[in-house]
Chain A
């Protein structure tokens, strides 16, 4: 399965060698994600943020979870093209009226995550819900992708 985000603690030995090529880039990313990141990167900068994503699978469906605290439902967009699920959106800053001092650690602006699902899904039966800042997308597998039991007939 492919996603558009490097995952530091989900590294198989198989891909380790390839990932080393991009190590400098990731070092930079980690720097920005560390506690000093918000100091290095002013809020509203052009670099977009990247919410963490989980994928679960059972025999009938995939479930994708995203931590998206502080978004409005209408600002979340979910598109499915074949096996590619794309979730994008924008987090808008609250109105700051009469502010004196401000310390911003949170990220604002647009984001996009894409994930290639391991099997075909039924595009018309995808269900998405957003609660307590977590987006949950349930994608039923296409009939062709479901495991089937084949009875062996003995003559």
Chain B
């Protein structure tokens, strides 16, 4: 993170452009219900256009590209990291990959992974 240290002689606007290839692991809450598994990933600065979700070799890949903000002036104090987000999960075979849905709201990516019919709990009535 050395490039974030503000050098008074050489101030410049820090944007996501400078770290185009820098990815961090977002914090994720995972919740399992009888119908589905829900992932909620913290991706500040990511909107609908910046999200890429793919399934490859049984892995779920979540990528969030941060949109560069318009800020005028020079940085005088920096803690935020101008990075993108990436996280990979191994999918359980019980997940129905054709029915995965996702939305992003207020910087939270919510991915719903429905469980396939065969693993859902079922009641069997006696004949």
Contacts and interface: CB of A to CB of B under 8 A. Distances in A.
Interface centre among A53, A66, A106, A118 (most CB of B within 10 A): A106
B77 A55 contact: yes
Contacts of B76: 1, 55-57, 118
A69 interface: yes
Contacts of B2: 9
A134 interface: yes
Dominant SS among interface residues on chain B: loop
Given A7-B79, A67-B44, A105-B27, A57 B73 contact: yes
A68 interface: yes
A133 B104 CA distance: 10
B112 interface: no
21 contacts: A7-B77, A9-B4, A10-B79, A35-B25, A52-B80, A53-B79, A54-B77, A54-B78, A56-B71, A58-B74, A62-B73, A67-B107, A68-B44, A70-B40, A71-B106, A104-B29, A105-B29, A106-B27, A106-B28, A132-B67, A133-B108
